[in-house]
Structure 1
């Protein structure tokens, strides 16, 4: 198995644009654990094995979050997630599936209970950044370990 192409070398300007977006996302004040949970959940929804693998491993580097990873696809039924995490995950799902229902007012209002305007926009940036990475990885045939 091998990727369709290596976008990093094929289109360095695309890679640089994504790295600039990633740099802006990485400079946000979002809690690192929450940030990784968002990346994992969005990657689950999009079916991006490369990003799911990467961010699950990144979350495990932050501590004992194995249960958070294992239960993330059913976060609504799992009591281990905080209300803040639930609001962010709900927003991440709505933004990722934006073509289905948009971002309903109730989702926006729930997120704003826990995040001010600046934090809300940082969440939107994080969600959009991982969605972009997922689409690049899936389109170019990336998979866990493909660059090893």
Structure 2
């Protein structure tokens, strides 16, 4: 058997549809929030590929290094808005389902800061990035763009 190195070549039709859902979800909320969610989910899932890719994309969209670095400990970092905190809590709750159902606690903040449509858009985005994490980790994919420089 051959290891998959290009999911789009392995399953063009399905990946085309997956990409369409991904782009729709990505464009459903403000870009800065979407990138924070993608990075946070990727941190929780241990997906180096996606952390790398979405950190590069977040920087390109104007996100600060500080806010990117602090996503690992966002609960203690005062650099996020209440809306971003609600999104990050929702991301944590849905990404960590196997570690205990905490979405009820996160849902109150979500409902306070997001319309019903935005709640669904964010939930789909969280599902999308979790799916991409599993594809990237499962097939050991690596995003070359923005690859870190070698340490001196």
Conserved 8 A contact 1:4-1:140: yes
1:27 match? 27
Q: What are the equivalent positions in structure 2 for 1:50-61 lying under 5 Å apart?
A: 50-61=49-60
1:125 match? 124
1:76 and 2:110 are equivalent in the alignment:
no
Measured after TM superposition, the shift of residue 4 of structure 1 is 4.7
Cα separation, 1, equivalents of 2:102 and 2:116:
16
Unpaired runs of at least 5, structure 1: none
> Please, what TM-score do these two structures have when normalized by structure 1?
0.90
Cα separation, 1, equivalents of 2:113 and 2:88:
12
Q: What are the equivalent positions in structure 2 for 1:1-148 lying under 5 Å apart?
A: 4-28=4-28, 30-145=29-144
Unpaired runs of at least 5, structure 2: 148-152
Please report the RMSD computed on the Cα atoms of aligned residues, expressed in angstroms.
1.8
Measured after TM superposition, the shift of residue 21 of structure 1 is 1.4
Conserved 8 A contact 2:45-2:133: yes
Conserved 8 A contact 2:90-2:103: no
Cα separation, 2, equivalents of 1:12 and 1:49:
24
Measured after TM superposition, the shift of residue 100 of structure 1 is 2.2
**Superposed structure 1 runs of 4+ greater than 3 Å apart:** none
Deviations along 1:124-148, whole A, 9 cap, x unmatched? 01100100111111111102318x9
Name which structure has the greater RCO, CA cutoff 8 Å, separation 6+. Answer: 1
